[in-house]
Amino acid sequence: MMARSASSARQNTLERVHLVGIGGAGMSGIARILLDRGMAVSGSDAKDSSTLMTLRAQGARVAVGQDAANLELLDGDPTAVVVSSAIKPDNPELAAAVSRGLTVLHRSEALAALMEGHRVACVAGTHGKTSTTSMLTVALQHCRLDPSFAIGGDLNESGANAHHGAGGIFVAEADESDGSFLAFTPSVAVVTNVEADHLDHHGTIEAYNAVFESFVDRLADGGVLVACVDDPGSAALALLAESRGVRVRRYGRAAADVTLTSYEPADGGGVATFLLDGAPVEMKVAVPGEHMALNALGAVIAGLSLGAPLAGLLEGIAGFGGVRRRFEFKGLAGGVRVYDDYAHHPTEVAAQLRAVRPAAQGGKVVVIFQPHLYSRTRMFAGEFGKALALADEVVVLDVYGAREQPEPGVTGRLIAEAVPLPAARVRFEPSFEKVPALVAGLVEEGDLVLTMGAGDVTMLGAELIAELDRRVRV
Query: Which helix or strand (DSSP H or E) is residue 468 part of?
Result: helix 460-473
Q: Which amino acid, one-letter code, is at 337?
A: R
Pairing state between β 336-341 and 279-285: unpaired
> Active-site residue 173, yes or no?
yes
* DSSP tally for the chain: helices H, then strands E: 16, 21
Query: Which helix or strand (DSSP H or E) is residue 285 part of?
Result: strand 279-285
How far is Cα 118 from Cα 357, in angstroms, rounded to an integer?
41
User: How large is the greatest C-alpha to C-alpha distance in the chain, in angstroms?
Assistant: 68
The 3-state DSSP class for residue 63 equals strand
Question: Which residue in the list 103, 130, 192, 458 is annotated as catalytic?
Answer: 130
- Contact call for residues 86 and 154 (beta carbons, < 8 A): no
> Active-site residue 364, yes or no?
no
In degrees and rounded to multiples of 5, residue 200 shows phi and psi of: -65, -30
CB 282: neighbour CB atoms within 10 A? 11
HSE (CB half, 13 Å, CA atoms) of 44?
21
How far is Cα 115 from Cα 131, in angstroms, rounded to an integer?
21
How far is Cα 201 from Cα 445, in angstroms, rounded to an integer?
44
Question: Which residue in the list 173, 176, 328, 467 is annotated as catalytic?
Answer: 173
Question: Which residue in the list 103, 109, 129, 377 is annotated as catalytic?
Answer: 129
State the angle between helix axes of 346-360 and 374-388 in degrees (0 to 180), rounded to the nearest 10: 30
Q: 279 CB contacts (<8 Å, ≥6 apart)?
A: none
- Written as one string, the DSSP assignment of 234-270 is HHHHHHHHHHTT-EEEEEESSSSSEEEEEEEEETTEE
Q: Which amino acid, one-letter code, is at 208?
A: Y
In degrees and rounded to multiples of 5, residue 147 shows phi and psi of: -75, 150
> Active-site residue 129, yes or no?
yes
- Residue positions annotated with a catalytic role: 129-130, 173
